[in-house]
Amino acid sequence: MMKKFGILFFLSLFAFLSQVNPAEAQRRRNTNVTIEAEVVTGWNRLFGKPRYRWDFLSAPLNLAGATTMGIYNPNGKEPLPLTASTRKDAVLASIVDPFLETIFPVFDLETTDPGAVNVPLRQIDTWVSGDLSVRTPLPFQLDAPVVSRSQSNPESPNPITVADWFKASGQMQINCDSRGNNRVRVRLNNLIPNRVYTVWAMWYTADGNIFPQPFGGVPNAYVTNSRGNAVFSRQLNFCPPEAA
């Protein structure tokens, strides 16, 4: 019996889903596909609920995913849940989803640094020195020590809100031809300006396996400009299932 397979593209705050039978994929060529992005609040999560359900996978992988942000709670240690009714001016903060421990047994919630939870996204520590492995918030350019790495065009100190997050939009174009030219191009708009993002593909198969992979190989990163816009493109040695 032919196994189904699929690929779920993640571009930071976006998700693009495609699924097809490989025998069917081999029969189709010279196809152009456009996929509109959906803003999400985690890996296969929107407001704490699974965005996609894969019925051919056994539980818990059929609902695999994790929420990656909550609402900053200045009066407590844990962030508040982000829901569809949350105020648009609410400040987004870091969170650790217990579901991670369910699908990845090696992930131990007890080892999570409590100081890394309920931190506004703008204040999350960033690696600034690979030599010393020091984590610290990026300072503004004028305040940065000479020996420290900093952004050439730092952001304003304003926190990232729910409204800011959901302004984002994107579109993926997949073009494949019979000669094996397979190109993926993604246009992204209204993301957080001057930030580094990465692109991942989550592969899954009918036998219950699931694994992430840098989409298009390494490096799989892009940097937004001062307006929060970016373009990510890759030439692939295969045609993604949706366009094959």
Residues 161-186: pLDDT tens digits? 999 999 999 999 999 888 888 999 99
Taking the model in full, what pTM does it have?
A: 0.73
pLDDT of 156 reads 60
Exposure class string for 40-73: b at 16+ Cβ within 10 A, else e: bbbbbbbebeebbebebbeeebebbbbbbbbbbe
**Intervals of the chain under pLDDT 50:** 1-9, 11-12, 19-20, 23, 25, 147, 149-153, 242-244
Residues 108-124: pLDDT tens digits? 667 777 888 899 988 87
Q: Could you state, in order of their start, the residue ranges of all structural domains in the chain?
A: 1-39+168-243, 43-122
pLDDT of 55 reads 73
Rounded Cα distance, 193 and 114, in Å:
28
pLDDT of 76 reads 93
pLDDT of 7 reads 42
pLDDT of 218 reads 85
Q: Is the separation of the CB atoms in 7 and 35 below 8 Å?
A: no
